[in-house]
Amino acid sequence: MHIPVLLNESIDSLDLKQKNIVVDATVNRAGHSLSIAKKIGHSGTLICIDLDKDALDDAEKFLNKNLKAKERPEIFFINDNFRNLEKILENLKIKKIDGLVADLGVSSQEIDDSGRGFSFQRDEPLLMTLKNPIVKGDLTAEYIVNNWQEETLADIIYYYSDERYAKRIARNIIEARRGKEIKTTFQLVDIISKSVPVNYKHSKTHFATKTFQAIRIATNDEIGAEGDLLLALEKVLKEKGRASIITFHSGEDRVLKKFVKANKEILKLVKFENKKDFLEPSREEIKSNVRSRSAKLRVIEKI
Ligand SMILES: C[S@@+](CC[C@H](N)C(=O)[O-])C[C@H]1O[C@@H](n2cnc3c(N)ncnc32)[C@H](O)[C@@H]1O
């Protein structure tokens, strides 16, 4: 099961009302969408976006089952990249939105059940594409590890996950692919295992975690997509409209902070009761949902 992260905090911060038009840019199994739908009610409009068609179909079933007809807003299900937000809204003839939530990255189901190679604990084809279905020509993790240059591999592994053994891992990927194409997750785990010292394998976090995260981010151009979403947001958010963005690593958070700072005439970060401009999950939430441990919520407001 995918347990929604920072659910109440992210939705309450949007200050939603009946009739509002709201986007859930990363609907997955609709954890956040259900809560939004209940707040905006029958007169509201909810636009549910996900790159993963299976997730979107499950979200539709989940919302149908859990919303009574009289509380159900008008809901659109869109299998697309949230970086196309402006175009998506244009197609729906919607000019401005009151709120948006984006709970970035990958879901527990995608890691555990998609068969697309997100988990270093299962032997699967090395795809790592959030886009589902994928079509010929879509970038995959397999293409990256078999074709990108050593320096580029080292850079992405270092910059997208702060992996201190990035250079060694990149060198060993090049070495391994000279002998045989790298096609599965376990082949990659094996290469990483040979690249890191023994004591690194005894740390709390699995030694392949960071490399897998970095290659997934590169495969899906996650930082680029986030940047495009922010650019669109600046245009489509109504005055006083808000967007709750949940990030899971420092790279994602940096992009957000920089963007708001660069656009401080029109955007600001909302301050919470703790006087900070971000919230992290409580100890209880982390205990009951370990995936939330690196989450950070920031709320952007259009001035
Ligand atoms: C962490 S999950 C969201 C979980 C959801 N909030 C819930 O509580 O059920 C992230 C979802 O965003 C989707 N996703 C990631 N990047 C995307 C993008 N650029 N465009 C559209 N969907 C994206 C993933 O496929 C995944 O389903």
The CATH code belonging to domain 140-219 is 1.10.150.170
Q: What is the pLDDT along the chain (303 residues), one digit of tens a residue?
A: 678 999 999 999 999 999 999 999 999 999 999 999 999 999 999 999 999 999 999 999 999 999 999 999 999 999 999 999 999 999 999 999 999 999 999 999 999 999 999 999 999 999 999 999 999 999 999 999 999 999 999 999 999 999 999 999 999 999 999 999 999 999 999 999 999 999 999 998 999 999 999 999 999 999 999 999 999 999 999 999 999 999 999 999 999 999 999 999 999 999 999 999 999 999 999 999 988 999 999 999 999
pLDDT in tens, 206-222: 999 999 999 999 999 99
Atom of ligand 1 nearest to the CA of 225: 19
30 CB within 6 A, ligand 1: yes
107 lines ligand 1 (CB under 6 A): yes
CB 73 within 8 A of CB 41: yes
Residue 220 alpha carbon to ligand 1 centre in Å:
12
Task: Please give the number of the atom of ligand 1 that sits closest to the Cα of 52.
Answer: 25
Distance (angstroms) between ligand 1 centre and the Cα of 200 equals 30
**Which amino acid, 118?**
F
Q: Establish whether residue 51 lines the binding site of ligand 1, counting it when its CB lies within 6 angstroms of any ligand atom.
A: yes
Domain residue ranges in the chain: 7-108+222-302, 140-219
pLDDT at 26: 98
User: Does 2 sit in the ligand 1 pocket, CB within 6 Å?
Assistant: yes
What CATH number does domain 7-108+222-302 carry, 3.40.50.300, 3.90.1150.10, 1.10.1060.10, 3.40.50.150?
Answer: 3.40.50.150
How close is the Cα of 203 to the center of ligand 1, in Å? Answer: 29
Residue nearest to atom 24 of ligand 1 (CA): 106
User: How much distance in Å is there from the Cα of 144 to the middle of ligand 1?
Assistant: 22
Quick: pLDDT tens for 2-34.
789 999 999 999 999 999 999 999 999 999 999
Our answer on whether the CB atom of 116 is closer than 6 Å to any ligand 1 atom is no
